[in-house]
Amino acid sequence: MNELRSKVKELLGSNALELFIGYERGTRLPRPLLAASAEDADRLIFDEYCTGNLAVYLTRKDLVGGKKTGIAASYYAMRNICRLLDENQLQEGAIKIFGLTPEGTLKAFDTIADVRRYLQETPAPSKQVEDEWVQEIDAMPAAERWKFWTSELSKCFKCYACRAACPMCYCTKCIVEVNRPQWVQPWAATLSNMEWQINRVMHMAGRCADCGACGTACPLGIPVHIIAHKMAEMVRQSFGEPAGKGAVLSTFNPNDEENFIR
């Protein structure tokens, strides 16, 4: 922790960084901290509980806009950052990334190529809980599965916290707010809630890092991250792409099997 604090202080002091997005102690779990001075940096922490995805702040022009920014990134946040770079939402030279290795040590990355190599060489942290959810839901007969998701999504009151927590949801105008034509009904009702989540997850196909932040953010505990996790698994099976590697629904490859057309 001290290593991170002194490194960030040094980078802020020398103007190599103007802002560092990290974590500080919260009342229950660590919370985000936007550190712009040595005093702020003294509050930084980084441990195994710092799992919230801070990459979501990197596209916030009001916070980051044009500043040389550093970030404490979890494994999954690093996946998001690479994807955001691929989508030209970030400028490579403007970001300094610190990651936490599975052994709990701090790792400072000099280049994005180093981050990509690290992601390739390091096994992703376990998704056992999510895998078990998916197995359980997959094992349900179709009618029961429909009932499960209808019941879960009927609770949604369209607060859009799942969207706000997702680093890949950076559009300035979301499809749910477009009313000419109106793709998704804006009020909360089971069917329109389903339309909303299906649209959200389809938008994420191949882009989602499988970080789980959307599910954590839902104040009603609706497991929307499980839909994203299942979708990431399907993308991997159908296109051989690991989570967060490519926008499979907006690219065309003549060699695609198209086995979803039945």
Q: Which residues here bind ligand SF4, judged by CB under 6 A?
A: 156-162, 165-166, 168, 204, 208-214, 217-218, 220, 222, 224-225, 228
Which residue number, 17 or 214, has a Cβ lying nearer to ligand SF4?
214
Which residue number, 33 or 162, has a Cβ lying nearer to ligand SF4?
162
What is the smallest separation between the CB atom of 31 and ligand SF4, expressed in angstroms?
17
Residues 6+ positions from 85 with CB-CB distance below 8 Å = 92, 112
What is the smallest separation between the CB atom of 142 and ligand SF4, expressed in angstroms?
22
Distance CA 171, CA 104 (A): 34
Which residue number, 146 or 157, has a Cβ lying nearer to ligand SF4?
157
What is the smallest separation between the CB atom of 216 and ligand SF4, expressed in angstroms?
8
Which residue number, 184 or 218, has a Cβ lying nearer to ligand SF4?
218
Which three-class secondary structure state does DSSP give residue 234?
helix
The closest alpha carbon to 119, from 75, 58, 77, belongs to 75
What is the smallest separation between the CB atom of 160 and ligand SF4, expressed in angstroms?
5
The closest alpha carbon to 154, from 201, 199, 187, 179, belongs to 187
What is the smallest separation between the CB atom of 40 and ligand SF4, expressed in angstroms?
26
Which residue number, 122 or 192, has a Cβ lying nearer to ligand SF4?
192
Q: Say how far residue 205 (Cα) sits from the centre of its chain.
A: 13
For the beta carbon of residue 108, count every other beta carbon within 10 angstroms: 14
Helices assigned H by DSSP within the chain: 2-13, 38-41, 75-86, 112-121, 128-138, 142-154, 161-165, 190-204, 213-217, 224-239
